[in-house]
Amino acid sequence: MYLENIYSPKDVKKLSVKELNDLSDEIRSALLEKLSKHGGHFGPNFGMVEATIALHYVFNSPKDKIVFDVSHQSYVHKMLTGRKDAFLNPAEYDKVSGYTEPQESKHDFFVIGHTSTSVSLASGLAKGRDLNGDNENIIAVIGDGSLSGGEAFEGLDYAAELGTNMIIIVNDNQMSIAENHGGLYKNLQALRESNGQCECNFFRAMGLDYMYVENGNDVEALIIAFSTVKDIQHPIVVHINTLKGKGYERAEQDKETYHWRVPFNIETGEPNIDYGQVEDYSEVTAQYLLNKIKEDSRVVAITSGTPTVMGFTPDRRLEAGKQFVDVGIAEEHAVALASGIAANGGKPVYGVYSTFIQRSYDQLSQDLCINNNPAVLLVFWGTLSGMNDVTHLCFFDIPLISNIPNIVYLAPTCKEEYLSMLEWSIRQNEHPVAIRVPATEVISCGEPVDTDYSELNRYKVTHRGSKVAILALGSFFGLGKSVLSLLKEKAGIDATLINPRYITGVDDKLMNELKIDHKLVITLEDGVLDGGFGEKIARYYGTSDMKVLNYGAKKEFVDRFELQELLLTNHLTDKQIVEDIKSLIP
Amino acid sequence: MYLENIYSPKDVKKLSVKELNDLSDEIRSALLEKLSKHGGHFGPNFGMVEATIALHYVFNSPKDKIVFDVSHQSYVHKMLTGRKDAFLNPAEYDKVSGYTEPQESKHDFFVIGHTSTSVSLASGLAKGRDLNGDNENIIAVIGDGSLSGGEAFEGLDYAAELGTNMIIIVNDNQMSIAENHGGLYKNLQALRESNGQCECNFFRAMGLDYMYVENGNDVEALIIAFSTVKDIQHPIVVHINTLKGKGYERAEQDKETYHWRVPFNIETGEPNIDYGQVEDYSEVTAQYLLNKIKEDSRVVAITSGTPTVMGFTPDRRLEAGKQFVDVGIAEEHAVALASGIAANGGKPVYGVYSTFIQRSYDQLSQDLCINNNPAVLLVFWGTLSGMNDVTHLCFFDIPLISNIPNIVYLAPTCKEEYLSMLEWSIRQNEHPVAIRVPATEVISCGEPVDTDYSELNRYKVTHRGSKVAILALGSFFGLGKSVLSLLKEKAGIDATLINPRYITGVDDKLMNELKIDHKLVITLEDGVLDGGFGEKIARYYGTSDMKVLNYGAKKEFVDRFELQELLLTNHLTDKQIVEDIKSLIP
C-alpha cells in the first residue's frame, strides 16, 4: 500500500514509475469505494488519476501552484496533499469539500466551483509572481467541458500575452457533463487524430505554445511531458487525451450518468437509494415541453450543458431533435441566443440552475431585457434548500434578476400554477419572463389558477384575515401556510395569506388596501434578503404606519451547511416567525 | 449627389461601382461634417463605409438581417436605410440614436451597445429562421475589439454547429478602443499577412468556414465577396481588413483619440470646446496610481479596454510598464485576474465603468468574493448623470455589487475621502473592496477624513440635528447638503446629515440612536432604487416607528433622457424632497 503513506507530494516523488502505477490503482480503488458509498464527481476524477500523480511528481506544490478548473476533479490532488484519510476512512469522508479549498490545505489556492475560471485565476497568480519577482511554476488544469465558457477564452487570450511561465493543462476527455458541443471540439478531435500535429490548432491560433500527450492516462508519458515544460519561460498548453471514468467500465461507457453519481452498488451500478418514480419539477417540465415542442414548431428548449435539470434525458433530446439545443457550458450565449430566437418569432425556453444564471447578468440586461424580447427562462433550484456548496449556492437569483427592468419574474407555488405560468409565458409576446421553478416536491394546490398573467404585479389573496398579512413567495408559500395556522392556534390571530406570484413588482393597490385593517406585513422569500423581494415591500410601506418584517437569508457565503441550522439561524421556522409576530402584535 | 437620393437599400442597388465609390466619398463628407459638429463614434464608422455599402448592395435588408456588434459603427447603415437626414441636416442630428434601434427602423433588430454580443444574437435570429422554415441571410458584423469578449467566443463556438446560413463579417481594423490586446490578434495579423492563407486559422479552428478580403475598403472587392457567400448554407466568417478612421488623416494616425470624438475643428483637429485643465477623477486616479506604482512594485493597474477612464493615457501606460495591464474588452477576465494577483501577494486596482462591470457578476461573486481576495475595483461614472444611452446606463452597479457577500463597496463624497479610501483599500488585506468613484466635479471637502475603514459600516454624521436624518450616499452627498439647508430655510427643521460611506451594510448602532429624536430618515442614492442602498435602510426600520423615504431612480430603461427631466420625474431635486418632507413632518 502506497497511498496510506502519502502525506504530501514529497512522498509521491519517492516512488518509481511502477510504484506510481500501483498508486494509481490504489487511488481508483479508494475513489470507487468512497464514491459508491458517498456519491460525488466520479468520471472527472477517474480520468485525472495519472495526470494528478504526474503533476505532483514533477512540480513542487505548494511553491508551484496548481489551479483546477471547476475543481470537481481535485479529489486525487486532495489525496496526494495530506487529505487521503478523507478518502480512505469512511468516518472522515465529509472532512473535505468537493472542491479546492484554501482553508483545507496550502496546496489549494482558490475555492472554485463554476467552470472556465482557472486560466484567468492562474494568470493572476502568474502576474502576481512576476510583480513579486518570484519564479514558481503556475499551472492551470482545464477541461471536462470548461473550455466552452467565455471566461476561459478571455483567459487564454490574455495568457498568450503574459510572456512568462504559465502551463495550461487541457484535460481533453471528450466530454462536458453531457456530450460536448461547439465548433471548438472538432479542433480538439483533429488534434487528437493527428497526434497534436495538425496545422490548424486552436491553441496556437490563440498565440500559445502547444504540446500533445496522446496517452493522458500514462503516468510515465505525463511525467516526461510535464518535466519538459517545467520552468518554461512562456505560456504553453499541454493537451492531454484522457478517458473520463477510466477504470470503472460502467463509467467509461455511460459518461453522463457517471459525471456525478449518487451512492451506488459497485457490482450492479444501481443507485443504493431507491428514488422510485417520485415526480419532480424537472420531469414535469420535460413532459410539458416535449408536448409543446410537438404542438408548435417554433418552441425550442435550450440548455447550457445541464440538460437533465429540465428533464431532458438523452432519449428526450433525440426526440426533440432540432427543437432542443445544448450550447455547452456557455450561459452568456444561451441568454443572447434565446433573445435572438424570440426576436425572429421563435419561442425559446432556457432552463438553468439558479447558481449558473449568475453567469449572464449583462446578457439578461442588455441582450434580453433592453430589447424586451419574449424569451422564457426557467430558473431551477432557486432556494436555500438546494446545493449547499458555497460555490453552488442558489440564493442570489432574486436580487440578480428582479432588479433588471422589463423582465417579469414569476414565483409559482404549485404544479398547476407553474404550468399555467409557463404556458402563458410561451404564449405572450410582451415581456421576457423568468419563472422560479418551485424548489419543493411537486405539490398540487387543488385550486383553480389563473391562466393569464399579463396584468402585472397582481398578488393573489388566498386567505383574507386581518391584523397580519403574510406575503409568502414561491417555494416559501408552504411556510406561509404553516405560519397562518400556527398564528391562529398560538395567538388567536386570523391573518391574511398572500401568494405574491410576481417577484418583480409591488401590488400597490392590494398593499394599500391592507393598511385598513392590518398592522404588520411579513414577507417570506427562499433566498437572500439583500436586494430581494421583501425589501421592496419595506420600501413601499416606508412612510406608512404599517410594520414590515422581512424573512430570508442573511447576505453571507455559507458552505456545506445543515439546512435546518441555516433556517434556524435566519429565523425561518414557523415557530420562530410566530414568536416574532407575537412580540410585535401583543 | 447620390446620398440625398438614398431612401432605402433599394436605391443603393441601382448604383454602379463608380457611383458607389462616389457615394462613399459623400458619406465620409457627411460623417465628417456631423461628427465634427456633434461628436460621436468617428473611426469605427469611417472604416466601415465601403463594407456597409456593399452589405446593402448585396443583401436584401430587412428580410436579410444584419446585426452590428456594439453597433457604434452603424451610422452608415442608418444613412442607407432611410435615416440620411439625421446625418445631412443639422436640425435632425439628434433624431437617431448612436446605436441600432428597432424603434427607429425595420432594418435594425436589436438595441446593442455592449460588445461581443452580435454573433450570439444573430445566431438566435438564424435559429429562429430555421424553426420558422424561412431562408433569409443572417449577418453578424463584429470587430473593433469586440472579439476579445467571452460572449463572442461562445457565440462563434455555437455558430459553428448551426449547420445553416450564417455570415459573420469580422471587421479587422487592428484596433480596440485603444490598441488591441490578446493572443488572438496575432493570428489575425498572420491571416492578414498571408492574405488569409495561413494554415493556423482561429476561425477554422473554431469549426467555421473562412474567407479573407484584403482590401476591406474596396466596394467592388467587398461586393464580390459578399455575393459569393450570400445564401450560403453553412456558417462562414468573412474576414475583412479595414482601416479605422479611413478618409480623415488625423483619425487614421491617432486611432485611439478618434475612436469617439468630441466636436472638433476639421482643419486643426482641436476640440471646439476648450475643456481647459479642469481636474477630474480620472486624472486624480491616474496621478495617485502612478505614484503608488513607483512606490510599490506589487501595485498593478488593470483596464479592460478603456484605459483613459482611469486617466491612463498612452504615455502613462508606457510609464507604468508591466504595472499597467490592458486585458482588452474582457471584463470577466479582468476581475478573475485581479483576484488571482491579490491571491499571490500583488495589489491589483481594476478601473471600470459602472455599465461594464455588469459583465462580470459571476466573477465578482465566485472568483473574487467567495475567495475574499483583497483586490480593488474602481467603479467610474456610477450615476444618473453619466452616459444617457440606454445601453450605457450607469444606474445598476449598486444592486449588482452590494448584494454580494464579502465585498466592501465604498461611496466617497470628495477627493480627500476618495484618495483616503483608495489608499486604505490597497493597504488592507481583509476584503475585496470596490469604490464608487464620485461622479461629480472634483470637490475638496476641506475637512479631515478617516484613514482607516476597516471597522465596517460606520457611517459619518456630518451635522447632528433632529427630527429628520438625511443619508446622502456618495455623489448625492451634495444633494443632501442642499436638502439640509433648504429644510432649515423652508421648514425650520435642523436635520441631521449623514455620509454613509459604506454601501454594503447598515450602521445598526447609529440607525438605532436616530430613533431617539428622529421621526424620518431619507436616503439619497445616485442610482436605481430597486435592490439598492435605501431599501436596506427601509428593511432595517421595518418594525420601528421611524418613517423612511428612499430617493433614487425608478427601475426602468430610459434612453437619451434629459438629466433634469429624469431628476424631476424621480423627485430628486432638493425642492421636491423638502416638499415631501414637509408633507410628512407637519
pLDDT tens digit sequence for B482-512: 999 999 999 999 999 999 999 999 999 999 9
Residue B273 banded pLDDT, cuts 50, 70, 90: confident
**Are A547 and B550 in contact (CB < 8 Å)?**
no
d(CA A372, CA B320): 43
A132 in Cβ contact with B348 (< 8 Å)? no
B368: pLDDT confidence band, cut at 50, 70 and 90? very high
- A354 to chain B: closest CA residue: B362
Residues 90-109 of A with CB under 8 A from B: 102, 109
Per residue in B275-295, pLDDT (tens digit) is 666 789 999 999 999 999 999
pLDDT tens profile B188-210: 999 999 999 999 999 999 999 99
Name which CATH class applies to A460-584.
alpha beta
Q: Is the CATH number 3.60.21.10 carried by domain A3-256? A: no
B327 interface with A at CB cutoff 8 Å:
yes
Q: What is the CATH number of domain A283-436?
A: 3.40.50.970
The dihedral built from the CA positions of residue A534, A536, A539 and A541, taken in this order, carries a sign that is: negative
Q: Which residue intervals of chain B bear CATH 3.40.50.920?
A: 460-584
The reply to whether residue B348 touches residue A102, judged by beta carbons under 8 angstroms, is no
**Which positions ≥6 away from A420 have C-beta within 8 Å?**
A412, A449, A450, A451
Positive/negative CA dihedral, A508, A510, A516, A519: negative
Nearest of A93, A95, A99 to residue A77 by alpha carbon:
A99
Fold of B3-261: Rossmann fold (3.40.50)
Q: What is the ipTM of this complex?
A: 0.97
* A276 shares contact with chain B (CB less than 8 Å): no
- Find all residues with CB under 8 Å of B299, minimum gap 6, and list them: B289, B292, B293, B323, B346, B347, B349, B426
pLDDT at B275: 65
Measure Cα distances from B576 to A86, A261, A384, B582 in Å.
64, 61, 41, 10
- B320 and B312 Cβ atoms separated by less than 8 Å: yes
Contact (CB<8Å) B131/A543: no
- Whether residues A157 and B113 touch (CB distance < 8 A) is answered with no
Residues B339-364: what's their mean pLDDT? 98
The mean pLDDT value for B361-385 works out to 98
CATH 3.40.50.970 in chain B: give the residue spans: 3-261, 281-436
By three-state DSSP, how is residue B335 classified? helix
> What would the DSSP string read from start to end of A301-344?
EEESS-GGGGT--HHHHHHHGGGEEE--S-HHHHHHHHHHHHHT
Amino acid at B36: S
Tell me the shortest Cα–Cα distance from A505 to chain B, in angstroms.
10
In the three-class reduction of DSSP (H, G, I as helix; E, B as strand; rest coil), residue B44 is classed as helix
**Which grid cell sits at A261?**
453519481
Residue range B526-565, pLDDT digits in tens:
999 999 999 999 999 999 999 999 999 999 999 999 999 9
CA-to-CA separations, A251 to A141, A243, A266, in angstroms, rounded: 21, 10, 11
At B179 the pLDDT is: 76
Phi, psi of A100, rounded to the nearest 5 degrees: -65, 150
Instruction: Find cell 433566498 and name the residue.
Output: A527
- Measured between beta carbons, the chain B residues lying within 8 angstroms of A557 are 369-370, 405-406
Query: For residue A502, what is the DSSP state?
Result: B
Alpha-carbon gap, residue A69 to A99, rounded angstroms: 10
Cα–Cα distance for residue pair B419/B422, rounded to 1 Å: 5
Q: Where in chain A is the domain with CATH 3.40.50.970?
A: 3-256, 283-436
Q: Output the CA–CA distances (angstroms, integers) from residue A557 to B161, B502, B533, in the order listed.
A: 38, 19, 20
**pTM score of the predicted model:** 0.97
Report residue B455 as a C-alpha cell. Answer: 471597522
* B window 177-196, beta carbon within 8 A of A: 181-184, 186-187
Cell of B250: 488625423
> Which of A97, A201, A332, A570 is the best substitution to test chain B (most B C-beta atoms within 10 A)?
A332
Chain A CA closest to residue B208: A183
Mutate to test the interface with A, among B332, B520, B544, B582 (most CBs of A within 10 A): B332
Q: Three cell numbers at A37?
A: 458509498
The yes-or-no verdict on residue B53 having pLDDT over 90 is yes
pLDDT of res. B231: 98
DSSP A437-482: ---SS-----S---S---STT--EEEE--SEEEEEE-GGGHHHHHH
A82–B contact, CB cutoff 8 A? no
With CB atoms and an 8 Å threshold, state whether B543 touches A543.
no
CA distance linking residue A165 with residue A231, whole number of Å: 7
What pLDDT was estimated at residue B327?
95
Instruction: Give CA–CA dist B23/B84, Å, rounded.
Output: 12
The alpha carbon of residue B364 and the mean position of all alpha carbons in its chain are separated, in whole angstroms, by 17
Q: What is the DSSP letter of B184?
A: H
Q: How far is CA A256 from CA A245, A308, A312, in A?
A: 10, 10, 12
Q: Report DSSP letters for B522-572, one per residue.
A: EEEEEEESTTSHHHHHHHHTTTSS-EEEEEEE-S----S--HHHHHHHTT-
Q: All 3 cell numbers of residue A13?
A: 516523488
DSSP string, A336-382: HHHHHHHHTT-EEEEEEEHHHHGGGHHIIIIIIIITT---EEEEE--
| CA-based nearest distance A461→chain B, Å | 22
CATH number of B281-436: 3.40.50.970
pLDDT of B279 reads 86
Instruction: Write the pLDDT tens digit of every residue in B451-493.
Output: 999 999 999 999 999 999 999 999 999 999 999 999 999 999 9
B241 reaches A (C-beta below 8 A): no
Q: Does A543 touch chain B (CB under 8 A)?
A: yes
Q: Considering only the beta carbons, identify the residue of A323, A361, A541 that sits closest to B361.
A: A361
Handedness of CA B541, B542, B546, B552 (dihedral sign): positive
Question: Would you state the pLDDT for residue B278?
Answer: 75
Q: Which of residues 42-71 of B touch A (CB under 8 A)?
A: 65
Stretches where chain A sits below pLDDT 70 are 176, 275-277
With 90 as the cut, is the pLDDT of residue B181 above it? no
Of B183, B297, B556, the CB nearest to A157: B183
pLDDT tens-digit map of A376-413: 999 999 999 999 999 999 999 999 999 999 999 999 99
Which residue, among A509, A500, A536, has the nearest Cα to A410 in the 3D structure? A500
Is the pLDDT at B274 greater than 80, yes or no?
Answer: no
The secondary element (H helix, E strand) that includes residue B483 is helix B477-491
